[in-house]
Structure 1
Amino acid sequence: MHVPLGPRSPHSPRSPRGLRRPRRLPRLHRSRLLAFFCLTPLLAGCFASSGSGSGGGNGQGRDAGGSGSRLRVALAFPPAENLSPYGADATILSRLGVTEGLTALDGNGSAVPALAASWRREDDRTWLFTLREAVFHDGTDVTPAAVAASLARAGEARPAPAALAGVAFTAKAAGGAAVRVTTAAPDPVLPLRLSSPSLAVLSPKAYGKGKKDAVDPVGTATGPFEITRVTGTSAAALDRFDGYWGGRAQSSGVDVRFVADGAARANALRTGQVDLAEAIPVAQAATLDPGTRRETATTRTTSLHLNARSVVFKDPALRAAARAAVDASVLAEGVYEGHADAGAGIYGPAVTWAQGKRVRPAGRAKAVAPGGASLTLAAYDNRPELPEVAQVLKQQLEKAGFKVTLEVREYSRLESDALAGRFDAFVGARNSLLDTGDPVSVLAGDFTCEGGYNLARLCDPDVDRAVGKARAAADADERQDAAMAAEAVILGTDAVVPLVHQRIITGVAARVGGVTPDLYERTLVGAGTRR
């Protein structure tokens, strides 16, 4: 999802990535292991008390440098791929301040320096990035050779990260502090692309000798916080990394629990068990003190994906019937209680330029009576509104004449089946600018024949041509216009039905400052986050 999307993830049935879980912490100078977290089903267990300097629930963690309390954070999505940055887990790492890329995105969607202090375009296919002085969590320097090797490994991963959908490139050390990246075809948005959480730069120790897509971010990243312990899919501990190039973090560490139940996350914040809780359900928002709610407009759209290769929805007329049956305004005002806008397209109101450039879909098939056609509709419960959205859709589709079986699971247990096309329809929440910040990339990754996150299993030559034209546009305005034209072609297939554009509610304890939620949902905890 995927983070997120909900989370995002490359498209292909696969087993979890081969991430090692070392018995020892990767930094040799550490003298103590963090103890396992105390875990109970609804966060009734114990976090460290304020100011204790403990890393786990029993106070055996490290207060790096002896100052700054540890943050206690509840995240909605547990690791789905053993914290591999190449799939859904990439945003977990970026939101916790663990990983960084060469670039980052600002609030206007422009690329800004991160590990690269500057860059310039040498010709239409070649870019030169100059690195800042930085150190990996394992104590080794961030060198051009290490950066080039890290980018190369991301390019070799299969399935490819969504940010690299249809993109071939080489990265080489270029002397001094420079890295030269050369793309097989002109790529005018490469600096945006390299901001993707899935293209995080890791040290050579992250890759080992296993499969090309096996990668271990534990102790090998560059951010203000370093992973020191992972307890399966239930918890993790991070310590402040004192060698961070951006300055010493104000918190000594972060204790994380992965809690799929939205009510449990809200309750943990309300009772003081956590300092931050992401994705507070709209139904729980009113139970929180107004001062602890942060509502952020995002580029996330919840959509109904209709599997264009399934028995029922390979017929465009039945896809049109399903689309006609959906009333998105009911979802925005009912399920989301006004914390969302009815779906207008793949891009929502947070993508401000899209509203004046939207093109009306054309060429849609004529809807036919479903005649009792049977389908399986799937949704995940990490985002608590989605099961309710799916239930409303079930009722609307059944009223139109479909027979609907509803299947709801936690995302990590649903992902592989969804990506393999084992459902006729799927309700998912996708941040359209998460992967690259480039509006065209989400179209290429989600709706083309070679797309890495093609939940609708769409393979339409008209769509591929429209997206290809948008990808070739170098001028920003022309690229936006072409993206909106491609959006219209995609919507014309009725393989995706935009439902709502979301505003995300984050629970933040009153004593906590410096939280960094953004419209791309890439950041949450940073060097300045403190309690």
Structure 2
Amino acid sequence: MTFYAARPATDAKKLRPRRGALALAVLGAGVVLSGCSVANSGAATGGGAAAASDTLRVVLQQEPPTLEPCESNLTSTGVVDRSTVTEPLVERNPSTGELEPKLATEWSSEDNKVWTFKLREGVKFHDGSAFTAEDAAATIDRAVNSKLGCNVEGYVFGDDDLGVEVVDDTTLTVTAKQADPILPLRVSFLEVVPAETSATEKVREPIGTGPYKLESWDAGQKITLARFDGYWGEQPAYAKAEYQWRSEGSVRAAMITSGEADIATGLSPEDNIGDLGVPYPNNETVAIRMHNNKAPFNDIRVRQAVNYAIDKEGIVASLYGGRDKVAAQLVPEGVVGHNANLSPWAYDAEKAKQLVAEAKADGVDTGAQVSLVVRNAQFPKIQELAQVIQEQLTQAGLNVKLKMLETSQQLTYQVRPFAEDEGDIGLMIQHGNQAGDAAFTVDQYMTTKGAQSAFGTAELDALIKKADAATGEERQKAFEDVFAYQNENVVQFAHISHQTGMIGKAATVDYTPNSSTGDELRVAEAKPAQ
């Protein structure tokens, strides 16, 4: 491909007037407060059917802590934001794994280091302004190169900045610090915002280019999106999408069966959803991430004991009806780098006790408090799961205190810089590899300075660096080695299960969930059933 000579993005910005900052202020001031009644609830006819409506009613497990686009890799934010309010340059098809055009129509590189993106013409933001390469460049600078502290930076890009240059209004070059064969896949995690969006403060209510725009956010009650008439693509079937949240799965299920909601996320058959429950393949893995800066987890034998102490098969059978699969690593089958040769740790309560006793005999304070930190309503039966694990670790000889926290509190333990605690920390994580490549797991969860890694080793860092740069079969084998090394030599994690998902769906709605539904519910794909 032939491109124009590049010029710095800062020069390009001088050609355009400011328009986003004022729009953000106006949008924030325009939020309309409303009551807490469920929309259209009076029209319910029972059995999941409701009178025809131009509003798609969605009930989530929890209220999003923010709709800040650079935090949209967090499930609670992305389930509303991604590909609905905001859009990326490139989008991964959750069914095929292929990258598809979104705000960029094509991309290429001759050396896997400098990538050129050609951008879609005729796209407008919700404030009416035109989308250009300046906005794409500013989005990357804001999320990756600034000190804003976006979660997506650590999750996807690590410590390395990207070089960004605007060639013309529809051409952008992005340069990695070193060759990166999956850079377009990384870029798919960046939701584009106007160039004038603050790079020093996060925004709660975004302006995007998606099929829906934010109409109102009644804090603690509901979020309402309105169809964006200026959308560049196909118009969604529903004029509005309304989100409410209920922490109890049985309550969410009842809203579907009674006709008070059209789609409910995070359900299980035990929530009495019946035939209105729709299962789908999930990419989520549940594990306990152990910190090692204090006793007792600073001894590898104790971390091994945790793995032996948890009856994973029993948990999957009793709590999840055998639908989930016991996990041996942080990524499920189908993700590049999944090591099919790894076996889950066997349940051996006596071995767990023995390892704890050995560590204690060598002077490790095995009676020191361990805080098992868990997020409320993160997935079905999470509190019951936490209580089972607490009991099993206690039986192994550890002193475990359960801390059930709301999302904003739990995130202070999940992402660096980690919150301090009176005891050592075991954090329950639910990790979804939406991208289909192990780099998006190991870079953040296993390197010594990873955004969600409690510790690592120089040897493991070297293995990860080698895997990140590899392609093809070499990449697959290199990541297999990473997961094997973690399990044998580091043991930061006690893997529990690869999950399956389930939504509730009213009979009046036509929508097919996929592996990304739990992270980004593309409501524009829903339409009234025929």
Q: TM-score, normalised by structure 2?
A: 0.82
Of 350, 371, 374, the match for 1:379: 374
**Aligned pairs for 1:196-207 within 5 A:** 196=189, 199-205=190-196, 207=197
Question: Between Structure 1 and Structure 2, which shows a larger proportion of helix residues?
Answer: 2
2:441 matches 1:424:
no
> Partner residue of 2:3?
none
* Alpha-carbon distance between aligned partners in 1 of 2:511 and 2:154, rounded to the nearest angstrom: 30
* Deviation of the 1:280 alpha carbon: 0.9
Over 3 Å counting, the alpha-carbon distance change for 1:352 and 1:267 in structure 2 is farther
* Alpha-carbon distance between aligned partners in 2 of 1:359 and 1:463, rounded to the nearest angstrom: 20
* Deviation of the 1:441 alpha carbon: 2.1
**Aligned pairs for 1:349-360 within 5 A:** 349-351=333-335, 354=338, 356=340, 358=342
> Partner residue of 2:18?
none
Of 323, 336, 347, the match for 2:307: 323
* Alpha-carbon distance between aligned partners in 1 of 2:112 and 2:25, rounded to the nearest angstrom: 47
Alpha-carbon displacement from aligned partner over 1:222-273 (angstroms, at most 9, x marks no partner):
1111111112254211000112122111110111113233222122212211
**Aligned pairs for 1:94-493 within 5 A:** 94=81, 97-106=84-93, 107-133=95-121, 134-155=123-144, 156=146, 157-159=148-150, 160-175=153-168, 177-196=170-189, 199-205=190-196, 207-208=197-198, 212-218=200-206, 220-284=207-271, 287-290=272-275, 292-351=276-335, 354=338, 356=340, 358=342, 367-369=355-357, 373=367, 374-382=369-377, 383-419=379-415, 420-421=418-419, 422=421, 424-431=425-432, 433-434=433-434, 436-454=435-453, 457-473=454-470, 475-492=471-488, 493=490
Are 1:312 and 1:424, in contact at CA under 8 Å, matched by a contact in 2? no
* Alpha-carbon distance between aligned partners in 1 of 2:23 and 2:484, rounded to the nearest angstrom: 45
Are 2:67 and 2:80, in contact at CA under 8 Å, matched by a contact in 1? no
* Alpha-carbon distance between aligned partners in 1 of 2:340 and 2:400, rounded to the nearest angstrom: 37
Over 3 Å counting, the alpha-carbon distance change for 1:74 and 1:125 in structure 2 is same
* Alpha-carbon distance between aligned partners in 1 of 2:217 and 2:119, rounded to the nearest angstrom: 30
- Name the % identity: 24
* Alpha-carbon distance between aligned partners in 1 of 2:269 and 2:34, rounded to the nearest angstrom: 28
Amino acid at match of 1:430: H
Amino acid at match of 1:453: Q
> Partner residue of 1:527?
524
2:489 matches 1:498:
no
* Alpha-carbon distance between aligned partners in 1 of 2:69 and 2:57, rounded to the nearest angstrom: 23
Are 2:467 and 2:478, in contact at CA under 8 Å, matched by a contact in 1? yes
Amino acid at match of 1:528: E
Over 3 Å counting, the alpha-carbon distance change for 1:400 and 1:161 in structure 2 is closer
Secondary structure of 1:46's counterpart equals coil
* Alpha-carbon distance between aligned partners in 1 of 2:341 and 2:202, rounded to the nearest angstrom: 42
> Partner residue of 1:11?
none
Are 1:306 and 1:313, in contact at CA under 8 Å, matched by a contact in 2? yes
* Alpha-carbon distance between aligned partners in 2 of 1:152 and 1:396, rounded to the nearest angstrom: 46
* Deviation of the 1:507 alpha carbon: 0.7
Over 3 Å counting, the alpha-carbon distance change for 1:148 and 1:346 in structure 2 is same
> Partner residue of 2:504?
507
* Alpha-carbon distance between aligned partners in 2 of 1:314 and 1:249, rounded to the nearest angstrom: 52
Residue correspondences, number: 472
* Deviation of the 1:104 alpha carbon: 0.8
* Alpha-carbon distance between aligned partners in 2 of 1:215 and 1:333, rounded to the nearest angstrom: 42
Secondary structure of 1:204's counterpart equals coil
Alpha-carbon displacement from aligned partner over 1:423-475 (angstroms, at most 9, x marks no partner):
521212110x23x4431121011121221122xx11321221111111111x2
* Deviation of the 1:509 alpha carbon: 0.6
* Alpha-carbon distance between aligned partners in 2 of 1:144 and 1:387, rounded to the nearest angstrom: 46
* Deviation of the 1:319 alpha carbon: 0.9
* Alpha-carbon distance between aligned partners in 2 of 1:386 and 1:21, rounded to the nearest angstrom: 40
Amino acid at match of 1:305: R
Alpha-carbon displacement from aligned partner over 1:488-519 (angstroms, at most 9, x marks no partner):
12222221011011001111111111344434
Amino acid at match of 1:328: K
Are 1:449 and 1:458, in contact at CA under 8 Å, matched by a contact in 2? yes
Over 3 Å counting, the alpha-carbon distance change for 1:187 and 1:486 in structure 2 is same
* Alpha-carbon distance between aligned partners in 2 of 1:353 and 1:460, rounded to the nearest angstrom: 20
Are 2:79 and 2:518, in contact at CA under 8 Å, matched by a contact in 1? no
* Deviation of the 1:476 alpha carbon: 2.6
Are 1:73 and 1:255, in contact at CA under 8 Å, matched by a contact in 2? yes
* Alpha-carbon distance between aligned partners in 2 of 1:233 and 1:167, rounded to the nearest angstrom: 37
Higher alpha-carbon deviation: 233-242 or 406-415: 406-415
* Deviation of the 1:335 alpha carbon: 1.2
Are 1:126 and 1:181, in contact at CA under 8 Å, matched by a contact in 2? yes
Are 1:165 and 1:451, in contact at CA under 8 Å, matched by a contact in 2? yes
